[in-house]
Amino acid sequence: MKLKDLGYSPFFENSRRTSCLGGLSVARVIAEHKEAYRVKNVTDEYLAKITGKQMFNASSREDYPAVGDWVSISELDPERAVIRGVLPRKTILKKKYSDKNATQVIAANIDVAFAVESVGRDYNLNRLERYFAIAKDGNIKPAIVLNKIDLAPQAELDSKISQINNRFKDIDVIPTSTVTDKGLDELAAYIKKGKTYCFLGSSGVGKSSLINKLLGEDAIKTSAVSEHTGRGKHTTSGRQMYFLKDGGIVIDNPGMREIGMADSSAGVKNVFDEISALAGKCKFSDCTHTHEPGCVVLDAVKHEKLDKDKHSNYLKLKKEAEYYQMTDLEKRRKDRKFGQFVRKLSRAKARDFPIR
């Protein structure tokens, strides 16, 4: 194995040579844990931490290493290393919660972002669009993996693919099934040696299953989709990079529920066009559709003209979106308020039920 096989290129070598960290060796971040990283070079793998100075100098989350980053390291012992610096990124995949300053780096130095959707109830063109926006923002080429094609009749599948092709003209679509193995050869052929691919998509669409298939072994735990919600339970615990036999590099992403849904209230609105159309006719213009008199949305639910689950899902997502659009200060305030409330409650309990 060579550094090239880990995705290293002249772009990074130039930065390494010209940076003040030129004397150190480089490694790639292949996994992110709570307070440490797993990094890999040609011969070794280390558990690595950043220095206190780096933490102090970081002005935002973006300054911290992310999976896919190339970092300069010094070895502490055969198992552990210290990250001295992050080499400039070629591309960056990040999740923006709103126009406020909260962003989260999903992965760095990605060549292609696979937006994975499953044919079935999870399928959603607006969400795909949001994944593409994220990819485009980071200078990354997007592609679509349409998974679980075993669940749809051919006619339905054809119409979905033509829908996608109509709306997203220049984006490749790879239909797959990890049950019948259809399309897996095409997916494997799409993945090139030494290039890095990030799998994005709601939990339950089959990202981990696809990567297991590409690896040819069940390296990642997958989860049964809950019968009740039609969504996968969260099983993958961290973001992680895997190396395929043919030389491709892939990154699995756990818990991607928020990515498309909570990033803007406009997005939530798009997903629920039906509710938005009704909402305009509510008595109060700032109606929250939860309890107000003259609420047309509640009325539609009551008369079974609007699906009850859709309504509660809408409320949940709206709340989520509002939370992400709060500034960090507002969030802290809200969390503190909640803490005060809990403490007050436990004091009241102690008073009402004194322990003798």
Ligand X SMILES: Nc1nc2c(ncn2[C@@H]2O[C@H](COP(=O)(O)OP(=O)(O)O)[C@@H](O)[C@H]2O)c(=O)[nH]1
Residues that bind ligand X (CB under 6 A): 147-148, 150-151, 177-179, 201, 203-209, 222-225, 232, 235-236
Under the binding rule (CB under 5 A), the answer on residue 297 touching Zn ion is yes
Under the binding rule (CB under 5 A), the answer on residue 210 touching Zn ion is no
Token couple for 82: 């210290």
Q: Which does 95 bind (CB under 5 to 8 A by kind): Zn ion, Mg ion, ligand X, none?
A: none
Nearer to Mg ion, 250 or 301 (CB): 250
Report strand pairing: 141-147 vs 92-96. Answer: unpaired
DSSP secondary structure letters along 188-239: HHHSPTT-EEEEE--TTSSHHHHHHHHHTS--S---PBPTTTS-BPP---S-
Q: Which does 297 bind (CB under 5 to 8 A by kind): Mg ion, ligand X, Zn ion, none?
A: Zn ion
How far apart CA 309 and CA 158 sit, in angstroms, is 28
Nearer to Zn ion, 200 or 297 (CB): 297
Q: At what angle do helices 154-167 and 125-137 cross, to 10 degrees?
A: 40
Nearer to ligand X, 65 or 232 (CB): 232
Q: Which does 253 bind (CB under 5 to 8 A by kind): Mg ion, ligand X, Zn ion, none?
A: none
Question: Taking CB under 5 A as the criterion, which residues in 5-64 touch Mg ion?
Answer: none
The dihedral of CA 184, 259, 35, 1: what is its sign? positive
Nearer to ligand X, 111 or 252 (CB): 252
If we measure between CA atoms, which residue out of 282, 165, 176, 241 comes closest to residue 6?
Answer: 241
Nearer to Mg ion, 49 or 252 (CB): 252
* DSSP code at position 77: S
First to last CA, the chain: 69
Under the binding rule (CB under 5 A), the answer on residue 282 touching Zn ion is yes
Token couple for 41: 């070079």
Cβ-proximal residues to 84 (8 Å cutoff; 6+ apart), any chain? 21, 24, 51, 54, 71, 72, 73, 74
Helices (H), the chain: 10-18, 52-57, 125-137, 154-167, 184-190, 207-215, 257-261, 265-271, 273-279, 296-302, 308-325, 328-352
Under the binding rule (CB under 5 A), the answer on residue 295 touching Zn ion is yes
How far apart CA 123 and CA 135 sit, in angstroms, is 19
Q: Which residue is nearest to Mg ion (CB)?
A: 208
Nearer to Mg ion, 111 or 252 (CB): 252
Q: Which does 15 bind (CB under 5 to 8 A by kind): Zn ion, ligand X, Mg ion, none?
A: none
Nearer to ligand X, 87 or 143 (CB): 143
Under the binding rule (CB under 5 A), the answer on residue 278 touching Zn ion is no
Q: Which does 201 bind (CB under 5 to 8 A by kind): Mg ion, ligand X, Zn ion, none?
A: ligand X
Could you tell me how far CA 18 lies from the centroid of its own chain?
33
Under the binding rule (CB under 5 A), the answer on residue 236 touching Mg ion is yes
Q: Which does 209 bind (CB under 5 to 8 A by kind): Mg ion, ligand X, Zn ion, none?
A: ligand X
Nearer to Mg ion, 186 or 218 (CB): 218
Candidate list 40, 127, 289, 311; residue touching Zn ion; CB under 5 A: 289
Q: Which does 287 bind (CB under 5 to 8 A by kind): Mg ion, Zn ion, ligand X, none?
A: Zn ion
Interface with Mg ion (CB under 5 A), residue total 2
If we measure between CA atoms, which residue out of 149, 313, 150, 302 comes closest to residue 229?
Answer: 313
Q: Which amino acid makes up residue 133?
A: A
Kindly write out the interface string for residues 179-208 of this chain, putting x where it contacts Mg ion by CB under 5 A and - elsewhere: -----------------------------x
Token couple for 276: 């938005």
Contacting positions for Mg ion (CB under 5 A): 208, 236
Residue ranges in contact with Zn ion by CB under 5 A: 282, 287, 289, 295, 297
